[in-house]
Structure 1
Amino acid sequence: MSVIEHLEALRRALIISIVAWTVATVVAWFFSTTVLTFLIHRSGLENAFFLSPTGAFFLRFKVALYMGIVVAAPIVFWQAWWFVSPGLYRHEKRVILPLIAATSAFFMLGVGFALFALPLFMRVLLSFAPSDLRFLPVGDDLLSFILALAIAFGIVFEMPVILWTLGMLRIISTRWLYKNHAYWIVGLGLLANVMTPGLDPLTPLIVFVPLVVFWEATALLLKLSGR
């Protein structure tokens, strides 16, 4: 393909992706109240507050935008694959397609785990408040917290896929992983803090623990496979 044809293909993929996201967001708007109510109740709260006349509108709009991203994601991934696949060899396609599927599946598992464990996270975090303090759940802050937690655990659940892929490609080895074990632990701690910016000090710890567990489990699997 010529440069012009590549640019046309990229333009087509971008347009389809943007249209898919827009349509998904519009449809998601009609379900945003239901989803918002679910998230509030899932957090163990009876209600949440907004602090300006436009607060409720923008809160629903943010929910619709995020839902639109999730719903349109398969189409976006397909368009990305359609754009890059002509330049790949057959053996590369056999590796990349399962990798994309595993990456997507593990990310969604991470998001699902975050929502499943959300009531526990909220109880633990709110238990640190002294008796003379009351929690005022502002809808926008609550949504930002849930989103940050979901994305953080989505990324955490990518750890096995990333390490396993690098191990299978012989870019890393079990010996190298264990040799640099201390550096990995420090790096994972820094990553947990970067993934949860602006949140309370306990949330990075909640993210850090499964990061270490996944690291240890994947290193063990690589060792058992002889890598």
Structure 2
Amino acid sequence: MPLAGHLRELRSRLVKAIGAVMVTTVVAGLSYKQLIDFVIAPLPGCDTLEGSPATTDGRCGVIATNGLLSPVTLALKVSLTAGLIGASPVWLYQLWRFLAPGLHRGEKRYTLAFLATGIPLFLAGAAFAYAVLPTTARVLISFTPEQATNILPVDDFLDLATRMVLVFGLSFELPLLLVMLNLAGILSSARMAGWWRHMVLGITAFAAIATPSSDPLSMLALAGPITALYLVACAVSWLNDRRRARKGTADLSPDEPSSLPALHDSYHGR
């Protein structure tokens, strides 16, 4: 295909992907209030009607928005985020369709397996991040002085929740990347298993840096599942190496001559 054809194909894929994002964003915008309530549900807000804390430990914060345009900006952020997530199958498929003509049959199979496994892993990481958000919020609010009231801007919490969802979701893709390297023959299971001390240390350091909050609970909540998935990736790679070794042994014939040159041939060749 000439360059102009590639550009037309890219334009077509981009139009379809952006159109899907716009449609899902508009649909999400119709119920943005319910989405915002879902996002800020982990926040331990105070009961403004009765003046009593909404949590059993007595620590809470006043959930608020800052400024006249803040609710509009918040609605746009929530709707666009929901639109990107909701349209992810469409724009990922369009990306694959743009790259597929340049791939071999085996590479197409690997990319389809990558998408079929990567999307559930990302969603699992995002769901896990949302599950630990209430505990993270309570731990952070517990540092508030006794005589002070914590004002919780919804915009700040939305940014924190978005970063945690992205960090957790992308971190859950690490085992899939290791398995793909093993399937490509670049990384063996023995080497992966030999790196376990360095990998655990690196995962812990990454979790300490990548988590938006500074509490150790969020760090452990991210490092624990990634370490478990790393061990699963080692086990899958070990099974694949055993299958590859059996297949290679089965393909060898005892009557097949060696590919190495004979000693006397090399001697006479001198």
Q: TM-score, normalised by structure 1?
A: 0.88
Q: Which residue of 1 aligns with 2:78?
A: 63
Amino acid at match of 1:37: D
Secondary structure in structure 2 of the residue aligned to 1:13: helix
Instruction: Tell me if the contact between 2:118 and 2:176 (Cα under 8 Å) persists in the aligned partners.
Output: yes
Deviation at 1:133, TM superposition (A): 4.0
Deviation at 1:27, TM superposition (A): 2.1
**1:98-117: CA deviations, max 9, x gaps?**
21111011101111122233
Aligned residue pairs total 226
Residues 60-69 or 133-142, more deviating: 133-142
Shift in CA distance, 175/128, structure 1 to aligned 2, threshold 3 Å:
farther
Q: Which residue of 2 aligns with 1:144?
A: 159
Q: Which residue of 1 aligns with 2:139?
A: 124
CA distance in 1, matches of 2:223, 2:66: 33
Once the two structures are superposed, the pairs formed by residues 75-114 of structure 1 within 5 Å of their partners are 75-114=90-129
CA distance in 2, matches of 1:20, 1:194: 34
Q: TM-score, normalised by structure 2?
A: 0.75
**1:63-117: CA deviations, max 9, x gaps?**
0110110122111112112211112222221221121111011101111122233
Instruction: Tell me if the contact between 2:183 and 2:240 (Cα under 8 Å) persists in the aligned partners.
Output: no
Q: Which residue of 1 aligns with 2:214?
A: 200
Q: Any gaps of 5 or more consecutive residues in structure 1?
A: none
Q: Which residue of 2 aligns with 1:214?
A: 229
CA distance in 2, matches of 1:112, 1:41: 14
Deviation at 1:194, TM superposition (A): 4.5
Q: Which residue of 1 aligns with 2:50?
A: none
Instruction: Tell me if the contact between 1:192 and 1:207 (Cα under 8 Å) persists in the aligned partners.
Output: yes
Moved over 6 A (4+): none
Amino acid at match of 1:5: G
Identical columns (%): 29
Q: Alpha carbon RMSD of aligned pairs, Å? A: 2.2
Instruction: Tell me if the contact between 1:156 and 1:210 (Cα under 8 Å) persists in the aligned partners.
Output: no
Q: Which residue of 2 aligns with 1:13?
A: 13
Amino acid at match of 1:79: Q
Shift in CA distance, 84/226, structure 1 to aligned 2, threshold 3 Å:
closer
**1:1-33: CA deviations, max 9, x gaps?**
111100110111112222222222222111111
Residues 31-40 or 86-95, more deviating: 86-95
CA distance in 1, matches of 2:237, 2:137: 35
The structure in which a higher percent of residues are helix is 1
Larger gyration radius, structure 1 or structure 2: 2
Instruction: Tell me if the contact between 1:20 and 1:72 (Cα under 8 Å) persists in the aligned partners.
Output: yes
Instruction: Tell me if the contact between 2:43 and 2:134 (Cα under 8 Å) persists in the aligned partners.
Output: yes
Deviation at 1:54, TM superposition (A): 0.8
CA distance in 2, matches of 1:111, 1:43: 17
Amino acid at match of 1:38: F
CA distance in 1, matches of 2:154, 2:87: 25
Q: Which residue of 2 aligns with 1:37?
A: 37
